[in-house]
Amino acid sequence: MNLHNHSILVCVCGGIAAYKVCDVVSKLAQAKANVTVAMTPESLHFVGATTFQALTANAVYTDLWTPAELKDPNHIRLAQHSDLILVAPCTANMMAKMATGLADDVVSTSLVASDPRRVVIAPSMNAGMWAHPATQRNAKQLLDDGVQFIGPGEGWQACRTVGTGRMAEPAEIVEYISRKLAASPAQSESPHFTP
């Protein structure tokens, strides 16, 4: 797999599966992709920005108000200079923001400034949250908007239950991204989830 000349924005949200995103980012960087990471404030409780900076050799964006580069507003540059945007773990909160166009942090604002057809989300939440009617409505809206899903999977969850809501495994996410970037827009689809 060679992702040379592809720019990928990875948006990390505040969920326990954030630790798995370190592996995703590492694998993408090893495949020679230019990876940039943006993080919600909540995600910083799970993984530090320094980890992603070390894995990508790029600045990490954690808020709208501290510019990592002075030439462009953070969210506009992030939205317009990426071939693909991965949101992982994509929490129920972020899905709700995306479905309604709420933009109150660097991740959600970047997503509102992006073409949803370039966005792939890897949902991650408790099975009850995933099954909630509001989450399912938001998922349907995102699909209608052109957002693509990888997962969620079924299995053991951090809340000590088994059910649907696990984030897809890093290797599966990287493989999906590689196929999506190699495919024409007409061939790209979301095979993993139908509400």
Rounded distance between C-alpha atoms, residue 186 and residue 21, angstroms: 28
The residue from 11, 13, 90, 159 that is catalytic is: 159
- CB-based burial of residue 3 (10 Å sphere; 0-12 exposed, 13-18 middle, 19+ buried)? buried
C-alpha triplet 114, 103, 87: angle, nearest 5°: 55
Dihedral pair phi/psi, residue 89, rounded to 5°: -70, 140
H or E element that contains 10: strand 7-12
Does residue 159 carry a catalytic annotation? yes
- As annotated, the active-site residues are 159
